[in-house]
Structure 1
Amino acid sequence: MIGFRGKRGDWIGLVAAPLFILFLVWAADKIWPLPLREVSPARVVVAHDGVPLWRFADADGIWRYPVTIEEVSPRYLEALINYEDRWFWKHPGVNPFSVLRAAWQDLSSGRVVSGGSTLTMQVARLLDPHPRTFGGKFRQLWRALQLEWHLSKRDILTLYLNRAPFGGTLQGIGAASWAYLGKPPMQLSYSEAALLAVLPQAPSRLRPDRWPERAQAARNKVLERMATQGIWSAKSVQESREEPVWLSPRKMPQLAPLFSRMMLGKSKSDKIVTTLDAGLQYQLEELAQTWKGRLPARSSLAMIVVDHTDMSVRGWVGSVDLNDDSRFGHVNMVNATRSPGSLLKPFIYGLALDDGLIHPASLLQDVPRRTGDYRPGNFDSGFHGPVSMSEALVRSLNLPAVQVLEAYGPKRFAAKLHNAGLPLYLPAGAAPNLSLILGGAGAKLDEMTAAWSAFARHGKAGTLRLQPDDPLQERPLMSPGAAWIIRRIMADEAQPLPDNSLPRIAPLAWKTGTSYGYRDAWAIGINARYIIGVWTGRPDGTPVVGQFGFASAVPLLNQVNNILQARTTVQPEDPRPPSVSQGVICWPGGQSLPAGEPNCRRRLATWLLDGSQPPTLLLPEQEGINGIRFPVWLDDSGKRVAADCPQAREQTLIVWPLPLEPWLPASERRASRLPPVSTTCPPLGQGALLPLQLTGVLDGAILRRLPGTPEASLPIQTRGGTEERWWFLNGERLQERGRNITLRVAEKGEYQLLVMDDAGQVATVRFTLQ
């Protein structure tokens, strides 16, 4: 029994001992896990083709360019494995023969002479640095076994590729290849692969940019090994030995700093791949530097280039100079909120086309107006009277845009843009109003540029794609026909042409914007493939006298367009949509009329959307119930008579909108257009028609308010004319209807007072209140 128990105890001990050892190993693995995760890892932002743009070092100042095995040249992998660890794919993390040889050498000399390290052991030392002692070697062996236990050989090799030291703050073959050679690690030659394979053995002593002779000797040693082992052909090795090792100082990625910093918050990856084009980005930043000296003090600029075929961002310059604190170079002005000036005008015209309010040749009114306390004016401080929608857009006239926005509705307009991805930033509690169209709300250059893609993407506004994996998203904003018409107008092709004469590749279409007080100057352009957004101004929002879109932003826009044209080989076509046709309309009615029709005072050729010819858009309460269509009754001799006169026949007379009278020749004014009155059967209330005259203030007078009074009071009288009177101040209809009124004016500025009688006679006077 005793013998049996002894044998049984030995058997239990034999089983328990390995289990206990396995438990200790398991416990040690849990207590001292592999330090694979970094608290603040090194990260890099790269262009769409892998070119590094900007690097962000880790806590120790190290920067890496993460790669996979497939992204590294097979030549480098061959040189690395056959020179460093021929049995890498077969040993369990430790090569016992190499360890025994190294141990014997170390014991014989009394110091560490050879490490016998495998690639796995080198990765272990990189993950968990240790002193070069016997205790440190044991710690390295333990980590190597842990690596083999938890990771595959491919994972371990990938760790080496990204953690091996290459001198200074460089780690990994990716960072070394780009910094030393300016190329991706997939494109390494035999000579370059051998050089970078040996460099981690002594990265400081062998740095090729500092010690080219040492680096060349070490490289040749690797080449000889590859030839001896028959890995590379003798010819390839001989040609590689003849290549000298001489490298310029290391190249650190220094492109798109503000864009790269923004991308850190959009991705958690160590290598953030973007849609930027590194070559284009370099040209844009060089262009920004050349413009720096031309900008006023404390001014900056911003540029963005988007490929509107897929909405990928190709270029992004957030400031003129990152290191210039006087110009707030650290502020990314591409996504800063600024006043866009007139950049929203193309949208309101396009939406109004779809709504049937106007067509490109619609008669609009560039006349003085006041809506409540809002009194818009033009950039040139003048007024141009009758203008077409196309002319108003090309010349960026303010009053016609306000007129169309008033008809469309500012709240509806803002909501439409917001739904398409262009929010307008208003002060807290403020509602959209007519000032929107002239820059009365904030916008961002990146969002504005994205919304402008609707003019190139058949009416659908796309969302910017910053990374290749970002999906293409777009939202409808306007019809393809409206988008095409507006784009062609901005490209100076408002005049319709036959399809065989119409360029199928649209030329550059552009628009400027200048904010109130010359604080911001914008320009956005669309060529056959790209959208270009440009902003200049002071980031702190202070005015820059003399800075406006055409003078400050358009020259920069044209230079960017020239760069893009030189780089572009394929240009998409822009054919006319089926919904767009040619037409001829007449002013002042705004619709087609037969040849010889007396109501056609001026004919205009134009593009039409779905064949629609909306009548002339009038201002609210501008005319009577019949608008500008005056019914008159004529006798056989063509004179005006009363409706109940014998042989009276009705005829419609289309007249010009009343506020346009001062800009019309005398023959086109209502008094001249109305036929003479019959003496035998005059219209009711019509006798001898005396000329309408206005008295009380001289034309061109300069007036001042009396001391202590908040407003100027002007008694105005009229003489002659017929009984009824309509009064207009700066194009806005007044409530007064009598022959004599008292006009009260409080604000300083220029005024136009106009009075009209029911016979169509008009009298005007201009004065200035100081």
Structure 2
Amino acid sequence: MKFQIKFGIYFLTFFLLMLFGFLFLDDKYPLNLHTLDKPKSIILKDTNNETLYMQISNDEIWRFEVTKDEIPLNLKNSTIFFEDRYFRYHFGINPLSIFRAIFYNITNKNRIGASTITMQVARMMNPKDRNYKNKIVEIFNAFQLEWHFSKDEILTMYFNLAPYGGNIEGVKAASYFYFNKNLNELTISQMALLSIVPKNPNKNRLDRISDSNSLKNLLLKRLYKNKVITKREFERAKSEKFKNKRYNAIQNAKAYSLMALKNGKYLTNLNLNFQNKLSNFLKKEMDSLKSKNVKNASALIIDNEKMQVISYINSHDEFAKNGQNDGVKSRKNVGSTLKPFIYSLALDNGLIVPKQELIDTEIYLSSYIPQNYNLKFAGVINASDALRFSLNIPAVKLNNILNDNSLFELLEKASLTEYEKEHYGDSIALGGISLSLLDLAHLYTIYANKGVLKPLELAGNLIDKNETLITTQSAFLVANILQDAPRSYLNSVWKNTLYKPKIMFKTGTSADARDLYTIGVSPKYTIAVWMGNFDGSKTDELSGGMSSAKVVFDMFEYIEKKMGVSEFKMPNGIFKDEICTDVYEVKNSCKTSTKDYLIKGVKLKKDCKDYRNEELYFLVTSEYLSKNDIENSRCFYRFKEIKPLISNIDKKIISLNNENVRVGIKCTAILGDEIYLKFDDEEFKKYSNSQTVFKTFNLGLHNISCLDENSNLTEFEFDVTSFKNR
């Protein structure tokens, strides 16, 4: 009895000395927990928590941090079974395993280890050469881990640090690269295979091991026999086939993802499902246009309610010619895509109502002579059809009349102009300004947001704009007009859009068919597509309606089938009334009156000074108006004072062969059948009104004078110069 007491005292004394010694050393040589803070790889998620993009860590190791709650119980159990069956019971080391390993290593050439999971964690935290001294340090560190952390915390460290072959570290990365799955999606057999890799990571790596299915079944059998898994789990797992494979890192929407990572955004608003669908539609259409010399395409989708970019395709194919460029952000000529904004401003300023007649004929704005896409004129056409058919001349004319409240001021308010107004001139109405596809799509969202340009989120960056550009009422009216745009306008594409969703859409084509646009808008989404060539070269006889339009309609059709596409709702402040829609009102007379939409509080304006002499001449010669109509109009005295217009001639004419040049000159007067022309010092001669007169001029300065029957005089000076003197 005394011996037992004495032994107990010695043992307690020894234990306390060891404990105090351990606590002293633990305080003097604490665990270096900073070694756990290794560079992490990054997983970017989409709005539905789907993996969007993976970025490798700075040290070129695929390493994703896992929390203890993310690790499946079956994975924990199978790993403990294969690595350290008594993990839950020991205090860092397993003495029996150590004695067994010592005996075996003395009696055999091969060597076996006795490391517990805790000891492996200690070694992985502080890798060193394997010798007896370092082994003692490793055991001490294992004690420290057990003293400071719970078993689950140590096991979690193991799953984060364990090597799984090649540059894969940690079980979460292994799950992605060997099975293309999240941890919670792994099967029993996949967990079993992952459990044996760290024991010999290069030999056991799952993209290389031989006879993998036999090994899998052997592991499962051991788990079943030791009651780690049930019989039913064993039978189901045994039938599962496994192939040696390493999946590539997930890297979708690369341009968008890199922006998000740069902005420190790891949970994004991009919708991967929409991204993939839009990309597929884009690639399919580009394949069909291979013979048309169009090599590149870009697209994006904006959620108009949340004001977030939810799909971003900088280039439909990064391996195409110049395919690494970003067609969403690069600035390009935008063709006819800005016309809806001119019509919105015209509605807000009382220049038009939807059924108001406009004149589509040749006009001369100083040296600028706009032409329609088909080089023809529609004559008298209502405003809605002029916009739907994207006629150039009515848009230019309206924008010119808007003066200081024109498209330029709207774009300036949206911070989209680079130069002064004079730089762009009247051609701004036809896309004579460079904008990015992102700018254009953002601008179009005002039709879903009551005329307000709201801040837009893109990959964690906020495009901070908040401006009211048009009224809620004109936004609806223009959207309504373009919802009813005739699909036949889309040429060969129209048959594919007959039964597609009813959306607001506008196409655009820049000069020489270099840039092909379609923008579609519903209350919920804005979809913008560009096709062309990143090097700026021409496409072959294409337009936006013959190319990008199909992608927009296909995408909206997909969205409609998935969640429906709502229609624009008429806001307050719009009413219907009977109005005269005549392009030119004669006193006490109206040729065409109809009920049309008007904006409450907006007074319709028909200013005499807004009629151009070439337009009035067209109305008279086309017999829309008689001379008597003009003489009886409220604007007659104003028209009598309008000077004739000299056209068909430039201020500088180049003589290629250093000889005289022959020029055709036209002078148009508002009133009268005849005009009088004078060339330099010659006498006035009489000609028919608007007759083209041909005259030969030598090198030097010349002057033309044109006089109408009301004594209004117009003079024009020009210079004929030699090509050599340019």
Task: Name the TM-score, length of structure 2 as normaliser.
Answer: 0.75
Q: Is the 8 A contact 1:209 1:250 kept in 2?
A: no
**Whose helix fraction is larger, Structure 1's or Structure 2's?**
2
- 5+ residue gaps in structure 1? 1-14, 495-504, 624-655, 678-683, 685-689, 726-736, 749-770
For the Cα contact (< 8 Å) 1:75–1:193, is it kept in 2? yes
- Check 1:423–1:553 CA distance in 2 against 1; reply closer, same or farther (3 A cut): farther
Number of the residue aligned with 1:457? 449
Partner of residue 501, structure 1: none
Q: Distance in 2 between matches of 1:197 and 1:16?
A: 39
> Among residues 585, 588, 599, which one is paired with 2:589 in the alignment?
599
- Is the Cα–Cα contact under 8 Å of residues 361 and 377 in structure 2 kept in the other structure? yes
Q: Give the length in aligned residue pairs.
A: 646
Question: Superposition pairs for residues 426-465 of structure 1, below 5 Å?
Answer: 426=418, 433-465=425-457
Match of 1:245 in 2: 242
- Tell me how far 1:517 sits from its aligned partner: 4.5
Shift of 1:662: 0.6
Separation in 2, partners of 1:393, 1:437: 12
Q: State the partner residue of 1:3.
A: none
> 1:34, 1:146 within 8 Å by CA — same for their partners in 2?
no
Give the secondary structure class of the aligned counterpart of 1:513: strand
CA contact 1:361–1:585 (8 Å) conserved in 2: no
Match of 1:225 among 218, 223, 226: 223
Q: CA deviation at 1:42?
A: 2.7
1:490 is aligned, of 463, 482, 488, to 482
- One-letter amino acid of the structure 2 residue matched with residue 178 of structure 1: Y
Equivalent position amino acid for 1:609 in 2: I
Alpha-carbon distance in 2 for matches of 1:144, 1:585:
91
Match of 2:555 in 1: 560
Match 1:392 to one of 386, 390, 400:
386
Residue number among 700, 706, 710 corresponding to 1:709 in the alignment: 700
Match of 2:646 in 1: none
Amino acid at match of 1:558: F
Instruction: Identify which of 229, 235, 252 aligns with 1:255.
Output: 252
**Superposed CA offset, 1:228-252 (max 9, x none):** 34x5433223322232323666344
Q: Could you list the per-position Cα deviations for residues 501-543 of structure 1 after superposition, in whole angstroms to 9, with x for gaps in the alignment? A: xxxx971221122234433222111246432111122223344
Instruction: Note if contact 1:216-1:245 (Cα within 8 Å) is conserved in structure 2.
Output: no
Q: Does 1:478 align with 2:470?
A: yes
**CA separation in 2, counterparts of 1:606 and 1:493?**
18
Alignment of 1:296-445 (within 5 A): 299-324=295-320, 327-409=321-403, 413-414=407-408, 416-417=410-411, 422-426=414-418, 433-445=425-437
The residue aligned with 1:170 is 168
| 1:592-639 Cα distance to aligned partner (Å, 9 max, x none) | x9xxx95222234433333745133x48x446xxxxxxxxxxxxxxxx
How far apart are residue 113 of structure 1 and its match? 0.9
Shift of 1:373: 4.9
Q: Give the 3 Å change call, closer, same or farther, for CA 388–26 of structure 1 in structure 2.
A: farther
Matched with 1:181 is 179
Which residue number in structure 1 is paired with residue 598 of structure 2? 608
Equivalent-residue separation in structure 2 for 1:131 and 1:381 (angstroms): 82
Deviation at 1:659, TM superposition (A): 2.2
**Cα 1:622/1:50, change in 2 over 3 Å:** closer
Deviations 1:727-748 (A, max 9, x none): xxxxxxxxxx24xx54446699
Please say if 1:511 is aligned against 2:506: yes
Partner Cα separation in structure 2 for residue 515 and residue 149 of structure 1: 72
The question of whether the paired residues in 2 share the 8 Å contact of 1:227 and 1:234 is answered with no
- What is the distance in 1 between the residues matched to 2:159 and 2:601? 65
Letter in 2 for 1:311: M
Structure 1 residues 338 and 470: alpha-carbon distance in aligned structure 2, compared to 1, 3 A threshold: closer
Please say if residues 453 and 466 of structure 2, whose CA atoms lie closer than 8 Å, have aligned partners that are also in contact: yes
Identity %: 24
1:43 corresponds to 2:42: yes
Q: Distance in 2 between matches of 1:429 and 1:102?
A: 86
Equivalent residues of 2:71, 2:183 under 8 A apart: yes
Retained in 1: the 8 A contact 2:559–2:565? no
Is contact 2:313-2:328 (8 Å) kept?
yes
Q: Aligned partners of 1:469, 1:145: CA distance in 2, in Å?
A: 48
Deviation at 1:440, TM superposition (A): 2.8
Whole-angstrom distance in 1 between the partners of 2:219 and 2:274? 40
Give the SS at the match of 1:273: coil
Cα-to-partner distance string for 1:704-741 (whole Å, 9 max, x where unaligned)? 66231355x4444545xxxx35xxxxxxxxxxx24xx5
* Mapped partners of 1:363, 1:701: distance in 2: 29
Q: How does 1:65-144 map to 2 (within 5 A)?
A: 65-81=64-80, 83-85=82-84, 102=101, 105-106=104-105, 109=108, 112-118=111-117, 120-138=118-136, 140-141=138-139
User: What CA distance in whole angstroms lies between the structure 2 residues aligned with 1:412 and 1:123?
Assistant: 70
Q: Distance in 2 between matches of 1:88 and 1:703?
A: 104
Provide the secondary structure at the position in 2 that maps to 1:323: coil
**Retained in 1: the 8 A contact 2:698–2:720?**
no
Task: State the secondary structure of the residue aligned to 2:418.
Answer: coil
Query: Is this contact kept in 2: 1:506–1:574, CA < 8 A?
Result: no
RMSD of aligned Cα (Å): 4.5
Residue in 1 that maps onto 2:582: 588
Note the C-alpha offset of 1:694: 2.7
Structure-2 separation of matches of 1:572 and 1:480:
17
Task: State the distance in 2 between where 1:450 and 1:588 align.
Answer: 36
What are the residue-to-residue correspondences of 1:144-163 with 2, within 5 Å?
157-163=155-161
Residues 58 and 348 of structure 1: CA distance in aligned 2, closer, same or farther (over 3 Å): same
CA–CA separation in structure 1 for the residues paired with 2:109 and 2:34: 31
8 Å Cα contact 1:337-1:442 kept in structure 2:
yes
**Equivalences for residues 190-205 of structure 1 within 5 A:** 190-205=188-203
**2:482 aligned partner, one-letter code:** M
Secondary structure class of the residue paired with 2:198: helix
CA contact (8 A) 1:276 1:313 kept: yes
Partners of 1:550 and 1:232 in 2: how far apart?
62
**TM-score w.r.t. length of structure 1:** 0.71
1:541 maps to which residue?
Answer: 536
Output the amino acid matched with 1:336: S
Provide the residue aligned with 2:34 in structure 1.
Answer: 34
Give the match's secondary structure for 2:556: helix
Instruction: Find the aligned partners of 1:418 and 1:124 in 2 and give their Cα distance.
Output: 63
Q: For the Cα contact (< 8 Å) 1:358–1:613, is it kept in 2?
A: no
More displaced stretch, 693-702 vs 396-405: 693-702
Which position in structure 2 is the counterpart of 1:671?
A: 627
